[in-house]
Amino acid sequence: MIIDLRYHIFSLAAVFLALGLGIAIGSALPGADTLLREQEKVITRLEKEFAQLRSERRALEEMVAEKEKELAVMHRFHREIFPLLAGDLLNGCKVVFIQNGKAPEGAVEELGDFLQEAGAAVAATISFDDRSGGEELAALVGLEPGPAWAGELWAELAAELGGEKAPA
């Protein structure tokens, strides 16, 4: 393999061109001081943002603590005043809860306690889900499942709970 003079000249030209290009790019880049200053600016900005977020978080935590105190005062007020206000307001009334499964956890029990404090008696709690269409509930109370079972249920509940008429 013979190396031609022309090939050698092109190789040297390419090396010097690459060297010149490297020098041009290197001189165009900002110095190390410029990069450090930019990094410091970014770091300072981020520290300010974090400090602001920390102060916002502290303010929100203080607000939550204040609201929790207010809630505790309201609960205490409820515990102390409700028996005086409600007393035996619902004395002798019977209550039946019919729950379709969408009530929040503990809501029925909490409402039952509330009504019992007012003198009501919780006669029963009946639960069913929407998927069954109420057939389970109808069967539970001894009614024939079908389109008219709800009216019959209201009539029976009204009769059991004190002779009230079923809702139309």
The pLDDT tens digits of the residues spanning 22-76 come to 888 877 776 667 778 889 999 999 999 999 999 999 999 999 999 999 999 998 9
The reply to whether 12 falls in a domain is no
* In a domain? residue 57: yes
Residue 92 and residue 157 in one domain = yes
What's the structural domain count of the chain? 2
pLDDT: which is higher, 122 or 165: 122
Give the model's pLDDT for residue 35. Answer: 77
Residues 45 and 103 in one domain: no
Q: Is residue 76 part of a domain?
A: yes
| Least confident segment among 22-26, 44-48, 116-120, 140-144 | 140-144
Structural domain of residue 62, as residue ranges? Answer: 30-86
**Boundary residue ending a domain (66, 86, 106):** 86
- Output the pTM of the full model: 0.42
Q: Same domain for 152 and 105?
A: yes
Residue 90 CB burial class (10 angstroms; 0-12, 13-18, ≥19): middle
For residues 126 and 97, is the Cβ–Cβ distance under 8 A?
A: yes
Same domain, 98 and 81: no
